[in-house]
Amino acid sequence: MNTTVNTNPLVSIVIPCYNGELFVKKSIESALEQTYKKIELIIVNDGSKDKTYDEINSCKNESVTIINKPNTGVSDSRNIGMQHVTGEYILFLDADDVLEPDFLEKRVEILEKDKSLDFCTGEIIWIDENDQLIKMPKKQFGIYENTVLNVAAFNPVFSTCPSAYLFRFSTIKKKHVLFNTKISSPADRYFILELGYGAKGDYVKQGGKLLYRINTHSMSHLFSKKLIFDQENYFYEVLKHNLLRPHEKAILIKKMSYQMFASFFKLKMYKSSLFYLSKYLKSFFL
C-alpha cells in the first residue's frame, strides 16, 4: 500500500491489556492493517486471567513485542510499555479500541509537516460491543492552549481518550511525562495535563478516525465507589503537582468540590459529602 508521507519515521503503538480476550485481537489487527506500515507494537499483558495471552500470541510477528507481567493497572502497564519504545511517535491504544486504516497515515503526515507540533488527535466514533455505532461525540478536542481547564474539569465534550492521540515521543521524554499510577480511569486526562501548557497539537480534519468502544462493563462508565475515589485522587494529584494556573485551579476546586459533594452524597458517604460541600462553599470566597 502507498503512503503519502515521504519520510518514514517509526511509530510505536503501546497496547496495555487486562482480561481483554474479547476485543484485543481486533485492536491489534487494526494496528497491523494500517496504511502506514513502519510500526512496532508493544503489547503489555497486565496479568490477564482470561485468554488474552493466546489472543495476543496469535497475532505475533516481527513487529510485535509482547510483555507479560503481573497485574498492576493500566497506568503502570503503559509506563512499562513506554520503556520499550524505540519509535519517533507513540500511540497508547486501548485494547478494545479500533483504528481506521488511515489513522496513522493522517497523523504522521501532519506531525511530519510541522515539527513544532507535539501531538495530533482526531475524530472519534463511539461503538458498542458489537461494533455498532452508538453515538457521535458533540465536539472534538481542538487546539490545546484554550482547553486545559475543560480537560482538567471533565468537560464531557473534550475527549482525552489516549487512543486518539499520536504523540511525538521526544516531547514525552523531554518532559519526563509518565502515567500517574495513583489513578486509573482519569490517568489519560492527567497525562495530557502533564504535557503542560507548552504542548502544541493539531487534529485530523477528515478521516483517520478512532473507533472508541463504549463497553458497558468498563469501569469508566459505571458509577461506583471505586470510580469516585479514583476521580478524587485525580483531583488531588492535579492540585498537588501544580498542573494548572492559579485562576484555573480555583475553578477546578469549585467544580470538583461540587462534583465530589454530589457523588459522595449519592454514595451515602455523608461525612465526605459534607466536607466537599464546605469546600465548595468556601471556594466562593477565595
Partner 1 sequence: MCGILGYISNVNKITREEFEYSMQTMKHRGPDANGVFVNNNASLHLGHLRLSIIDLSTSSNQPFFSQDGRYVIIYNGELYNFKEIKNDCKIQTKTSGDTEIIIESFAQHGSNSFAWLNGMFAFAIYDLQENKLTLCRDRFGIKPLYYYFDGNKFAFSSELKALKNMKGLDLTLNKKVFPDFLHLGYIPFPNTAYQHIYKFPVGAFVEIDLNKEKIDALNFNYYWKLNEQINRHTVSDEEEVKTELKRLLEDSVDKQLVSDVPIGTFLSGGIDSSLITAIAAKLKSNKIKTFSIGYEKNQYNQYNEAQFAETVAKHIGTEHYSLTLKEEDILPILSNIINTYDEPYADSSAYPTMLVSKLAREQVTVTLSGDGADELFMGYGMYNWSNRLGNPFVKTLSPVFYPLTKIGSNKIKRAGLLLKYPEDSTHLKTHIFSQEQYFFSEAELEELLVEPVINLNTLNESISANRHLTNREKQSFWDISNYLVDDLLVKVDRASMLYSLESRVPFLDNNLVNYALNIDDSLKHKNGINKYILKEVLYTYLPKNLFERPKWGFAVPIAKWLKTNLHFLIEKYLSKQCVEKYNIIHFNVADDIVKRFMKGEEYLYVRIWSMLLLHWWLEENT
Task: Assess 71 for contact with partner 1 (CB under 8 A).
Answer: yes
Residue 42 CA to residue 31 CA, distance in Å, equals: 11
Q: Output the DSSP codes for 98-135.
A: EE-TTHHHHHHHHHHH-TT--EEE--EEEE-TTS-EEE
Does 67 participate in binding partner 1 (rule CB under 8 A)?
A: yes
Q: Which is nearer to partner 1, 53 or 126 (CB)?
A: 53
Residues 191-230 that bind partner 1 (CB under 8 A): 229
Cα(209)–Cα(211) distance, integer angstroms: 6
Burial 239-258 (b: 16+ CB within 10 A, else e): eeeebbeeebbeebbbbbbb
- Rounded to whole angstroms, the Cα distance separating 194 from 276 reads 25
Is 123 an interacting residue with respect to partner 1 (CB under 8 A)? no
**Under the criterion CB under 8 A, does residue 233 sit at the interface with partner 1?**
yes
Of 173 and 225, which has the nearer Cβ to partner 1?
A: 225
Give whichever of 17 and 149 is closer to partner 1, judged by the CB atom: 17
In which element (H, E) is residue 214 found?
none
Contacting residue, 6, 83, 206, 242, with partner 1 by CB under 8 A: 83
Q: Which of 37, 182, 200, 279 binds partner 1 (CB under 8 A)?
A: 182
Verify binding: residue 154, partner 1, rule CB under 8 A: no
Q: 3-class SS at 45?
A: strand
Residue 266 interacting with partner 1 (CB under 8 A): no
Residue 154: how many CA atoms within 13 Å on its side-chain side? 19
Considering only residues 19, 63, 272, 283, which one is a binding residue for partner 1 as defined by CB under 8 A? 272
Residues that bind partner 1 (CB under 8 A): 47, 53, 67-72, 80, 83, 182, 229, 232-233, 236, 269, 272
